[in-house]
Amino acid sequence: MDPRQLAVLRELGDRGSVTAVAAALFVTPSAVSQQLAALQRRAAVPLTERRGRTLVLTDAGRALAAAAAEVATALARADRAVDDYLTDPHASVRIAAFHSAAATFFPRLLQAAGSGPVPECADQDVEQARFPALTADYDIVIAHRPDHSQPWPAETKVTPLLHEPLDVALPIGHPLASRTDLSVADVSDQPWIAVQTGYPLLGSLEAIAAAADRPLQIRHRINDFTVAAALVAAGGGIALMPRYTAPARPDVILRSLRDLHVARRVDALMRPERALRTSVTTILGVLDDIARQLTEVAETKVTDQQPQDSRDDA
| pLDDT at residue 307, rounded to an integer | 52
| pLDDT at residue 54, rounded to an integer | 87
The Cα 205–Cα 218 span in angstroms is 10
DSSP conformational letter for 255: E
| % of residues, the chain, pLDDT over 70 | 95
Q: What is the pLDDT of residues 230-244, one digit of tens each?
A: 999 999 999 999 999
Q: For the chain, which residues make up each domain, given as ranges?
A: 3-87, 93-313
Other beta carbons within 10 Å of 124: 19
The Cα 290–Cα 112 span in angstroms is 9
* 180 neighbors 306 (Cβ within 8 angstroms): yes
The Cα 52–Cα 61 span in angstroms is 18
Q: What is the pLDDT of residues 209-221, one digit of tens each?
A: 999 999 999 999 9
- Minimum mean pLDDT range among 23-27, 45-49, 82-86, 299-303: 299-303
Strand pairing of 157-171 and 263-270?
Answer: antiparallel
Q: What is the pLDDT of residues 126-173, one digit of tens each?
A: 998 999 999 999 999 999 998 888 899 999 999 999 999 999 999 999
Map residue 45 onto helix, strand or coil. coil
- Cα–Cα nearest to 264, from 157, 139, 124, 167: 167
Burial of residue 237 (number of CB atoms within 10 Å: 0-12, 13-18, 19+): buried
- Tell me: pLDDT of 200 over 60: yes
For 247-279, b where at least 16 C-beta lie within 10 A, e where not — what string? bebeebbbbbbeebebbbbbbbbbbeebeebbb
In CATH, which of 1.10.3720.10, 2.40.30.10, 1.10.10.10, 3.30.530.20 is domain 3-87?
A: 1.10.10.10
| % of residues, the chain, pLDDT over 90 | 66
- Tell me: pLDDT of 312 over 60: no
- Tell me: pLDDT of 193 over 90: yes
- Minimum mean pLDDT range among 24-28, 180-184, 196-200, 309-313: 309-313
Map residue 141 onto helix, strand or coil. strand
In CATH, which of 3.40.50.150, 3.40.640.10, 3.40.50.1460, 3.40.190.290 is domain 93-313?
A: 3.40.190.290
